[in-house]
Structure 1
Amino acid sequence: MTYIPRKPTIFSNTPWWLLAIALLFVLGLWAITADGTYSKIFRALSGGIVTTLWVTLVAFASATLLGLLVAIARTSRHRVLREAATFYVEIIRGIPVLVFLFYVAFVGAPALVVAANWLLQPFDTVITVRQFDFVWRAILALTVCYSAFIAEIFRAGIESVDHGQIEAAHALGLSRWKCFRLVTFPQALRNILPPLANDFVSMVKDSALVSALGVQDITQLGKVYSSGTFLFFETYNVVAFLYLSMTISLSLLVRLLERRLREKNR
């Protein structure tokens, strides 16, 4: 008897965990659209989605730029820059994000306002602490915290480039800046994109900590709504669904990116 292999279907190649997640997403979406209570909660929390995404995008873009500068300093030939950058990374990574958030909001922000007023004395302009919005304080804190981790990702990517290519670029007459821009950084960027994207997913989750400052993100709106209606179970179901929708979508994009990079490097 001849064995005839079955033609693979879309479900045979799909991981079970992905099917389970898809089922949870469909159930959550059905509950929000069909159940009046969940629909009302979703409408109440929907404004926090914009705030969450805004804080995450601005903070991550700023942290990436600052992390790149710190990584360049860590790989510099000058010892003073290397030591200062290493000190920055080790100190920032050793402080919990929530603690640093409070420190920036209630210590760093007033100090920055005092410094700004000192610089603006010739212009007869005075800035108050209240003018420093808590959203921007949260963005500043997340920027500094994540820049230390992103700096290590950039440093690992820069050091992964074969030193022989750098020496060859110098032999061809390229300056250090051109060598970094044309040889080192493009290769390093290809290696660090997946871990950099993973840090972006982590920042989406850590952005929930800004609710401790009263920023009107998803978590804060959920906290206020549940305390007023006592619908804690339903409210935090919606909060969890919103965060899961964002983080899992981003995680799948990261997996797709990693697969594309592996296929391109073959």
Structure 2
Amino acid sequence: MATAERVLEGSKDASFAKRDKPLYYLDMNAVSPKLIRSMRDLFEAAGNNVRFLDGAVIGSAPSLKDEQADSSELEAWKRPGIPMSGPVKLADAEPSGSHLANVLGARHISDEIGAASGLKMSFAALTKGFTGLAIQSFTTAHRLGVLPELQQHLQQYSPKTFDMANASMPRMPPKAYRWVREMEEINATLAEDGGFEDQESIFSGIAKTYELVAHGTDLGQEKTESRNRGKTAEDVALLISEGIDRRKQKMD
């Protein structure tokens, strides 16, 4: 919201009124449709020459499919999904909106502000939400002394769950601090747009789980480019368990 407010303030400058083409403002943060709609309302109330677009990033950061590939070719890149929504389209922006939309791999999914951000929230509820559940499950099993048994039974009876948990938990630590707010935004989405009441949503609890990881365990010191701990699901569970023990000692 702060960035939108700064752009809005800048658009009040006399020089901005001289623009012969509108400014396109695209918000791609992981926030609730309610917050996105409030941003739109700010720009609409100002009545200036700004076109507001709702967007999202779904998937991993861009990467070359092959190290030997020509990086100047779009087809050489694996790109995240970029859904967009709103009454205007990025491809219609002049002079190069069409080119930018093509480079991003953007797809306009709806004329409604809130659709793209809502899609992102629904997607992250399953992916990052699952990781939060896995954290609680694995840590509890560790503290009970049955984590190896849990792993064995998952591998035997639910191998896809086994694969997801063991892949997602080690990737999580450097991002946990950012996911706190995202879980809160998912919680807001489920309430405002999904119609679920507070006691029916699990995401306020998952937000607290990521807050514990980020600020109450050694995992909070991990950086994506320099990993030392938490590189396996077992080590993640161990370190979170240690953090829980320290928290209990402080409370005693």
The answer, yes or no, to whether TM exceeds 0.5 is no
Bigger radius of gyration among the two: 1
| Higher normalized strand content (fraction of residues) | 2
User: Normalized against structure 2, the TM-score is what?
Assistant: 0.26
The normalised TM-score by structure 1 is 0.25
